[in-house]
């Protein structure tokens, strides 16, 4: 059983372990502590003031996933697979991905389209494909109730009916999510609508995904501090973006839309442009903002997304980096959780013949639900690895909700660990954090929100019409070690007439 006294347990997730390190990397490790700065360690001494200023490797862009239209549906195919990937020059890691050995292709579809996605499991362990942030029937959501055995294929189909945004997909197997996601099983799922084309939308040209992950380079004896146990999970010592180490992006336009996903297991990033150059937030987890919001920094906890516009002036040489922040824990816990690190994320330069694009003044967004729309209030208390004192039980329904209703969910972090909170099958509004208006980055549609120790967030959560009393959706902490430890619970949507259960597993196997 998982309990709240598990503070001293080691996170079991491996992250992608390097399986070969060549001589050059080994020498770097043996060489001197100054070499460590080059791969971005958690030690603050000797960290370069502006890491990223020298990044030179052209950033990889995950390919768009091809589709075919069959009987009016846009049909996609994904295959989960394992392999080896040289994520850092000289260091080959054991990795996992979709349609490749690391990460997954970008899925793109328009609001209103019907999609059908076939997911084949070529791994040697069960997996799932969860469409994070998607509003769809629970039976199509890809949780552990829709497990895909090795060599099996699972198919999800639904109609996309939510505003343009940047969602993502990743596995959700019970207790194995950290392992699979941190080895690379993550991809973006972009939704377009009429409003979103006002923004730069040419994928890979002026519409650029940034999937940020941290990995650990370890050689066992040569580097100090083999992976550390942080209260929020495993923190890697090296950042990769779209699987590229020390990436550079050469802009061919004067304004670039970046869709940023924190796909790390536990690490939070406090993003800024060196040195405090203004950028513009245009979208949060579930949709666009009414107008671009000028910001100088942005905290992204695991699973959160942000769409930002970055102006790239002539002769620009910009550095997107993560700088120290406060996760609300003790100083020591903040340090082991990576909150004091300064890390280069991406260097952005501009091509000599770049074309000019101007910042849009207004965007079209969908009105957020308000407190007066809600009929039910619920309270959730976050412990060290529990929600309302309980650990995940796949056969227990924790919350029964009436389809088509809107509820107020108040989430309080009563532990001394930082957490975040994600609800499947919905996009919500943040009404207040500690009784005050939320930060600009939490004023749009959200499906995941960071909650520091002692903090309380009040969420306005609209639920869909997809009543299914026997198939649950999840809500959980998205720090993946916490999730794997059981910091997760289940809700079902009912039409108000039917009782819940018995629970139905759409993989055809019963777990109980
Ligand atoms: Cu990103 Cu339960 O999901
Ligand atoms: Cu999700
Ligand atoms: Cu947590």
Judged against a pLDDT cut of 50, whether residue 512 lies above it is answered with: no
Q: Report the relative pairing of strands 406-413 and 255-262 from DSSP bridges.
A: unpaired
**Tens digit of each residue's pLDDT (9 = 90 or more) over 289-341:** 999 999 999 999 999 999 999 999 999 999 999 999 999 999 999 999 999 99
Distance between Cα 425 and ligand 2 center (Å) = 7
Atom of ligand 1 nearest to the CA of 143: 2
Task: Give the position, in ligand 1's atom list, of the atom nearest the Cα of 133.
Answer: 1
pTM of the model: 0.91
Q: Give residue 325 CA to ligand 3 midpoint distance, Å.
A: 17
Query: DSSP label at 6?
Result: G
Question: How far, in Å, CA of 185 to CA of 177, rounded?
Answer: 9
Ligand 3 is an ion; residues with CB less than 5 A from it: 419, 477, 479, 482
Question: What pLDDT does residue 506 have?
Answer: 63
Q: What is the pLDDT of residue 34?
A: 32
Confidence of residue 6 (pLDDT cuts 50, 70, 90): very low
| DSSP states of 15-42 | ---EEEE-HHHHHHHHH-HHHHHTT--S
> Separation of 223 CA from ligand 2 center, angstroms?
35
Expressed in angstroms and rounded, the spacing between residue 10 Cα and the centre of ligand 3 is 15
- Identify the three-state secondary structure at position 424: coil
Per-residue confidence (pLDDT) for residue 359, from 0 to 100 = 93
**CA distances (Å), 5 to each of 53, 172, 387, in order?**
43, 25, 14
Percent of all residues in the chain with a pLDDT value above 90, rounded to a whole number: 81
Q: Report pLDDT for 399.
A: 97
The H or E element containing residue 116 is strand 114-121
Report d(CA 293, CA 165) in Å as an integer: 16
Ligand 1 contacts CB of residue 305 (under 6 A): no
- Write down all domains in the chain, each with its CATH number in brackets: 35-55+201-355 (2.60.40.420), 68-191 (2.60.40.420), 371-511 (2.60.40.420)
- Cα of 69 vs centre of ligand 2, distance in Å, is 26
Indicate the SS3 state at residue 371.
helix
Taking the centre of ligand 1 as the mean of its atom positions, its distance from the CA of residue 130, in whole angstroms, is 7
Residue 6, Ramachandran bin (φ over 0: left; ψ between -120 and 50: alpha; else beta):
alpha
Where b means 16+ CB within 10 Å and e means fewer, 465-474 reads: ebbbbbbbbb
The number of beta carbons lying within 10 Å of the beta carbon of residue 118 is 15
Averaged pLDDT, 428-432: 98
Q: What is the pLDDT of residue 195?
A: 85
Distance from Cα 243 to the centre of ligand 2, integer Å = 22
Place of tokens 């146990």: 229
What are the φ and ψ backbone dihedral angles of 336, each rounded to 5 degrees? -65, -25
| Percentage of residues of the chain with pLDDT beyond 70 | 86
Ligand 1 near 267 CB (within 6 A)? no
Confidence at residue 49, expressed as pLDDT on a 0 to 100 scale: 78
Neighbours of 330 (CB within 10 A): 12
Over residues 175-223, the pLDDT tens digits come to: 999 999 999 999 999 999 998 888 999 999 999 999 999 998 865 443 4
**Does the structure show a pLDDT above 60 at 23?**
no
Find out whether the beta carbon of 424 lies less than 6 Å from any atom of ligand 1. Answer: yes
Q: Which residue has the tokens 């999970």?
A: 233
Q: Is 130 in the pocket of ligand 1 (CB under 6 A)?
A: yes
Protein residue with its CA nearest to atom 1 in ligand 1: 132
Q: What is the pLDDT of residue 106?
A: 98
* Cα-to-centroid distance, 200 and ligand 2 (Å): 27
Beta strands in 171-304 (DSSP E): 187-192, 207-215, 229-230, 233-234, 238-241, 244-245, 247-253, 255-262, 269-274, 279-284, 287-295, 298-300
For ligand 1, atom 3, name the residue with the nearest CA. Answer: 132
Show the tokens assigned to 130.
């969860």
Q: What is the mean pLDDT of residues 105-116?
A: 98
172 within ligand 1 shell (Cβ under 6 A): yes
pLDDT band of 275, cuts 50, 70, 90: confident
Sort 509 into a burial class: Cβ within 10 Å, 0-12 / 13-18 / 19+: exposed
Predicted pLDDT of residue 216: 87
Ligand 1 pocket check for 357: Cβ under 6 Å: no
The response to whether residue 174 sits with its C-beta less than 6 Å from ligand 1 reads: no
- For ligand 1, whether the C-beta of 138 sits within 6 Å is no
pLDDT at 175 (0 to 100): 94
Q: Cβ neighbours of residue 9 under 8 Å, at least 6 residues apart?
A: 485
Q: What is the pLDDT averaged over residues 122-137?
A: 98
Compute the mean pLDDT over every residue in the chain, rounded to the nearest whole number: 89
For residue 303, which atom of ligand 1 is closest to its CA?
1
Report how far residue 67's alpha carbon sits from residue 178's, in angstroms, rounded to the nearest whole number: 29
- Tens digit of each residue's pLDDT (9 = 90 or more) over 131-183: 999 999 999 999 999 999 999 999 999 999 999 999 999 999 999 999 999 99
Is pLDDT above 90 for 24? no
Is 123's pLDDT higher than 60? yes
What digits encode the pLDDT tens for the residues 329-385?
999 999 999 999 999 999 999 999 999 999 999 888 789 999 999 999 999 999 999
The tokens for 289 are 């903002």
Task: Please report the pLDDT score of residue 223 as a whole number.
Answer: 41
Average pLDDT over residues 446-467: 98
Atom from ligand 1 closest to the CA of residue 483: 2
In the chain, % helix, strand, coil (3-state, to 5) comes to 10, 40, 50
């Amino acid at each position: 059983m998982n309990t709240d006294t598990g503070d001293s347990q080691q996170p079991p997730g491996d992250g992608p372990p390097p399986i070969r390190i060549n001589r050059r990397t080994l020498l770097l490790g043996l060489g001197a502590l100054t070499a460590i700065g080059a791969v971005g360690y958690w030690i603050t001494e000797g960290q370069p003031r502006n890491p990223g200023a020298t990044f030179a490797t052209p950033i990889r862009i995950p390919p768009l996933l091809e589709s075919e239209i069959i009987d009016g549906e846009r049909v996609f195919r994904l295959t989960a697979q394992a392999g080896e990937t040289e994520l850092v020059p000289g260091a080959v890691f054991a990795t996992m991905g979709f349609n490749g050995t690391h990460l997954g292709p970008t899925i793109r579809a328009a609001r209103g389209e019907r999609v059908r996605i076939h997911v084949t499991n070529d791994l040697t362990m069960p997996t799932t494909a969860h469409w994070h942030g998607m509003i769809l029937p629970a039976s199509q959501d890809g949780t552990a109730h829709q497990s895909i055995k090795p060599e099996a294929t699972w198919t999800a189909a639904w109609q996309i009916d939510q505003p343009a945004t940047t969602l993502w997909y990743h596995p959700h197997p019970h207790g194995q999510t950290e392992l699979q996601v941190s080895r690379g099983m993550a991809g973006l799922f972009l939704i377009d609508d009429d409003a979103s084309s006002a923004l730069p939308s040419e994928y890979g040209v002026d519409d650029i995904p940034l999937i940020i992950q941290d990995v650990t380079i370890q050689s066992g004896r040569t580097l100090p501090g083999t992976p550390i146990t942080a209260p929020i999970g495993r923190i890697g010592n090296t950042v990769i973006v779209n699987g590229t180490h020390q990436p550079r992006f050469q802009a061919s336009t004067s304004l670039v839309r970046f869709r940023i996903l924190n796909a790390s297991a536990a690490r939070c990033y406090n993003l800024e442009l060196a040195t405090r150059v203004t950028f513009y937030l245009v979208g949060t987890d579930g949709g666009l903002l009414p107008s671009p919001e000028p910001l100088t920094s942005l905290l992204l906890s695991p699973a959160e997304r942000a769409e930002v516009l970055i102006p790239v002036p002539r002769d620009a040489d910009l550095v997107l980096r993560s700088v120290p922040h406060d996760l609300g824990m003790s100083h020591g816990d903040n340090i082991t959780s990576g909150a004091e690190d300064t890390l280069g994320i991406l260097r952005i330069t501009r091509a000599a013949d770049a074309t000019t694009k101007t910042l849009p003044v207004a965007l079209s967004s969908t009105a957020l639900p308000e407190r007066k729309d809600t009929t039910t209030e619920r309270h959730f208390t976050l412990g060290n690895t529990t929600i309302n004192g309980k650990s995940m039980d796949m056969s227990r329904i924790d919350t029964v909700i009436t389809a088509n209703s809107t509820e107020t969910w108040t989430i309080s972090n009563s532990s001394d660990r930082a957490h975040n909170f994600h609800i499947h099958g919905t996009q919500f509004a943040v009404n207040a954090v500690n009784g005050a208006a939320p930060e600009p980055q939490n004023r749009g549609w959200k499906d995941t929100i960071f909650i520091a120790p002692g903090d309380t967030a009040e969420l306005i959560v609209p639920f869909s019409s997809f009543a299914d009393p026997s198939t649950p959706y999840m809500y959980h902490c998205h720090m993946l070690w916490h999730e794997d430890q059981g910091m997760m619970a289940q809700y079902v949507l009912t039409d108000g007439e039917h009782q819940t259960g018995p629970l139905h597993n759409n993989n055809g196997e019963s777990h109980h």
